[in-house]
Amino acid sequence: MAKIAIDLKSGSIKKEDNLIVGIDLGTTNSLVAYIKDGQPEVVRDPDGRSGLVPSLIYFAADQEVIVGDAARSHLVADPGRTIFSVKRLMGKSFSDLADYAHQMGYQIIQDDQDRLVKVRVDDIFFTPIELSALILRELKTRVETELDRKVDKAVITVPAYFNDAQRQATRDAGKLAGLDVLRIVNEPTAASLAYGIGLSRDDSKTIAVYDLGGGTFDISILRIEDGVFEVIATNGDTFLGGDDLDQAIVSHWETRFNLGEHTPSARQALRLEAERAKKVLSTETQFTGQSGNHTLTLSRAELETLIQPLIERTMDCCRAAMKDAGLEKQAVNEVIMVGGSTRIPYVKQTVSAYFGRPVHDELDPDEVVAAGAAIQADILAGNRKDLLLLDITPLSLGIETVGGLMDVIIPRNTKVPCGYARQYTTSVDGQKNLKIGVFQGERDLVANNRKLAEFILSDIPPMPAGIPKLEIRFQLNADGILQVTAKELRSGTSQSIMVKPQYGIDEEEMGRMLLDSIRHAEDDMQQKALAEARNEGNMMVQSAKKFVQQNSSWLTPEEISRIEEHAAELASAIEDESKDTIQARIESLNAFTTPLAHKALEVHVASAMKGQAIK
Ligand code: ADP
Ligand code: MG
């Protein structure tokens, strides 16, 4: 296995410049960190106090965009232009969010064109990707200023439960901010790395990561084996966090001190005071504050009573996650606390009591995710050669399918060892042999990839096309040896070969192959679409012929000649280079034959019934 760093813009293969930063793109706060003398270092404010950049964006009337702390005061004064919690919108459609729309001070809209939600500020529409990119750009600028150099590579963390669309949106936001996102890492994985868990090959552990942030709660159960992290269960509540604790304090004060009605800004001031009380009570036992002419007090014991039901909800999530993981509490070897709200002693005690062991709280819970992302970045940069965590396959591995298409079985960047299988079938009736071409590379057509091996699965018992179940299994071991097995599952016929994918490719060549795939991506997509349309067209032509044969008894000569005409037109379109024409002809053939197919079904059913009646 090998790793390489290529500069996607210049096309050069980089060996010397190895700075990759780690970014925690949070719902409430975001941070950027990098490795300095082997240790993660969070980029802090000029005054050195906090590394947290509030995930807030204010669009000033004069077009200026303000990100971070400076945007906070506008939350009350100009809520329609102050965007918070963008992370909740990532990869979501309007209908996903409709229930929460009223909680946002800003306007979200539906855009039919791409179905993803947009945020409206005056007459400008922003995608969540663009908004996240603004936060990422702020972080990029901060780290560039601190280090006095250009930074253009990053690892960004996301919650373990993020789906592909949300991960892709995060990646795109990075790209838009001028960052090559070398990897998207799960937040709990990053937190574990920050604690050094999973950094050595022989670490074998089960870890619980309890993350209580500003607006969200996540519990993740991870299994780490041979330096590979696997998420075995996640649970949580996307609307439960520190903000709710603040709200509980506000409500308590309102009744206790009989505060009555507030103006919006008095209300905001009260919330801020509640948050301050909560924070003070993480280290002290008594709080005294002020709101207008009221003196407000809160003791730690009172706070604990107030938040107990909320924390209990997080524990319900923990129980559910453990149940999903199928684990007993004793099976958890490490419990890690993440998120600002886990500073509260009551939270730590409750979690520790549940798991029956001390929790990890040695590191700053605000910073662990960013610190872990920086460690992951450092590993990717190749600065920690001792680590095997990086063992990934640098190029995709797959087989050739009909039309010369590459069908990827093990995608590039998959950690090894690994094994994947896919099922295929035959395209010709009575097919006895199947040629399996094994390829490596990122292009959609195998002709542009590198052929590693070819073998034949023979002695498949004759069956109609589409009936055999052919399983192709790729097993890649830690030394980079690929074993390919093909098996016909109905008959048990099987063949197997060993391949050494990296043989004969050096880093330069690998870089070139990757770059080619990027340069030709659009071309390839068109060729792939054409090849797919041709495959579909050929299948349609064949099934039209079959249909005529099988139903000649009742089809009218007129119907038969029309089907044949449509099929001939489709067949001639397949010879041409236009996928649109092929698709149009597929559709017209379909449109013509669908009612006939329905009729065929009726005819078959009727004759089957007749058969029964005679008996
Ligand atoms: P996110 O991951 O959602 O971006 P963070 O992990 O940054 O959020 O957590 C922010 C939350 O942590 C806020 O609700 C804040 O009030 C809370 N918090 C920060 N410090 C403390 C503290 N000392 N005690 C209690 N809560 C705290
Ligand atoms: Mg967080």
Among the residue ranges 47-56, 261-270, 534-543, 554-563, the one predicted with the least confidence is 261-270
**Structure confidence at residue 193 as a pLDDT band (50, 70, 90):** very high
Among the residue ranges 164-178, 462-476, 490-504, 561-575, the one predicted with the least confidence is 490-504
Dist. CA 66–CA 138, nearest whole Å: 9
The answer, yes or no, to whether residue 389 has pLDDT greater than 60, is no
Amino acid at 595: P
15: left (phi over 0), alpha (psi -120 to 50) or beta: alpha
Q: What is the pLDDT of residues 551-582, one digit of tens each?
A: 888 889 999 999 999 999 999 888 887 888 89
The answer, yes or no, to whether residue 194 has pLDDT greater than 60, is yes
Mean pLDDT: which of 192-206, 232-246, 542-556 is highest?
232-246
Contact between 13 and 6 under an 8 Å Cβ cutoff? The reply is: yes
**Structure confidence at residue 494 as a pLDDT band (50, 70, 90):** confident
Q: What is the pLDDT of residues 162-177, one digit of tens each?
A: 887 888 899 999 999 9
Q: What is the pLDDT of residue 593?
A: 86
Two structure tokens written together for 155: 């690892």
Mean pLDDT of the region 333-338:
98
> 350: which residues sit within 8 A by CB, 6+ positions away?
311, 315
Q: What is the pLDDT of residue 609?
A: 62
We find that the CATH architecture of domain 6-195+366-380 is 2-Layer Sandwich (3.30)
Give catalytic status of residue 244 as yes or no: no
The answer, yes or no, to whether residue 76 has pLDDT greater than 50, is yes
Determine how β-strand 334-338 pairs with β-strand 39-42.
unpaired
Q: What is the pLDDT of residue 240?
A: 95
**Structure confidence at residue 227 as a pLDDT band (50, 70, 90):** confident
Pairwise pLDDT comparison (10 vs 587), residue with the higher score: 587
**Structure confidence at residue 500 as a pLDDT band (50, 70, 90):** low
Domain 523-609 coded CATH 3.40.50.300: no
Of all residues in the chain, the percent with pLDDT exceeding 90 is 43
Give 50 Cα–ligand 1 centroid separation in angstroms.
12
Which of 130, 138, 172, 211 is flagged as catalytic? 211
Dist. CA 477–CA 414, nearest whole Å: 12
Two structure tokens written together for 38: 């082997």
Q: Which CATH class is domain 242-305?
A: alpha beta
- The superfamily (CATH) of domain 397-508 is Substrate Binding Domain Of DNAk; Chain A, domain 1 (2.60.34.10)
Mean pLDDT of the region 365-393:
77
Give 237 Cα–ligand 2 centroid separation in angstroms.
13
Give 365 Cα–ligand 1 centroid separation in angstroms.
9
How confident is the prediction for the chain on average, in pLDDT?
85
Dist. CA 340–CA 338, nearest whole Å: 7
Among the residue ranges 96-100, 121-125, 132-136, the one predicted with the least confidence is 96-100
Q: Residue holding tokens 């090849």?
A: 531
Find the radius of gyration of the CA atoms of the chain: 30
> 364: which residues sit within 8 A by CB, 6+ positions away?
none
332: left (phi over 0), alpha (psi -120 to 50) or beta: beta
Give catalytic status of residue 123 as yes or no: no
Q: What is the pLDDT of residue 6?
A: 45
Helical (H) or strand (E) element with 607: helix 579-614
Side by side, which strands form the sheet with 56-59?
65-67, 56-59, 82-84
Give catalytic status of residue 187 as yes or no: yes
Q: What is the pLDDT of residue 111?
A: 65
Dist. CA 509–CA 260, nearest whole Å: 72
User: Given CA atoms 86, 88, 91, 96 in this order, what sign does their dihedral have?
Assistant: negative
Decide: residue 309, CB within 10 A, 0-12 exposed, 13-18 middle, 19+ buried: exposed
CB burial string 508-521: b at 16+ within 10 A, e below? eebbebbbbbeebe
**Structure confidence at residue 407 as a pLDDT band (50, 70, 90):** very high
397-508 shares its CATH topology with 523-609: no
Q: What is the pLDDT of residues 580-591, one digit of tens each?
A: 889 889 888 988
Q: How far is CA 207 from the centre of its chain?
A: 21
Give catalytic status of residue 211 as yes or no: yes
Domain boundaries, the chain: 6-195+366-380, 242-305, 397-508, 523-609
Among the residue ranges 25-39, 293-307, 323-337, 571-585, the one predicted with the least confidence is 571-585
Q: What is the pLDDT of residues 232-247, one digit of tens each?
A: 899 999 889 999 999 9
Give 316 Cα–ligand 2 centroid separation in angstroms.
20
**Structure confidence at residue 480 as a pLDDT band (50, 70, 90):** low
Name residues contacting ligand 1 (CB within 6 A): 26-29, 52, 213-216, 241-243, 275, 278-279, 282, 339-341, 343-344, 366
Contact between 54 and 83 under an 8 Å Cβ cutoff? The reply is: no
Determine how β-strand 124-126 pairs with β-strand 118-121.
antiparallel
Q: Residue holding tokens 């909320």?
A: 310
Side by side, which strands form the sheet with 217-225?
228-237, 217-225, 205-212, 334-338
Residue closest by Cα to atom 23 of ligand 1:
279
Residue closest by Cα to atom 10 of ligand 1:
214
Mean pLDDT: which of 64-78, 114-128, 310-324, 592-606 is highest?
310-324
The DSSP code sequence of 374-405 is HHHHHHHTT--TT--TT-B-SS-EEEEETTTE
**Structure confidence at residue 506 as a pLDDT band (50, 70, 90):** low
Strand partners, 400: 406
Q: Residue holding tokens 């600028």?
A: 141
Mean pLDDT of the region 282-301:
94
Q: What is the pLDDT of residue 15?
A: 43
Q: How far is CA 450 from the centre of its chain?
A: 29
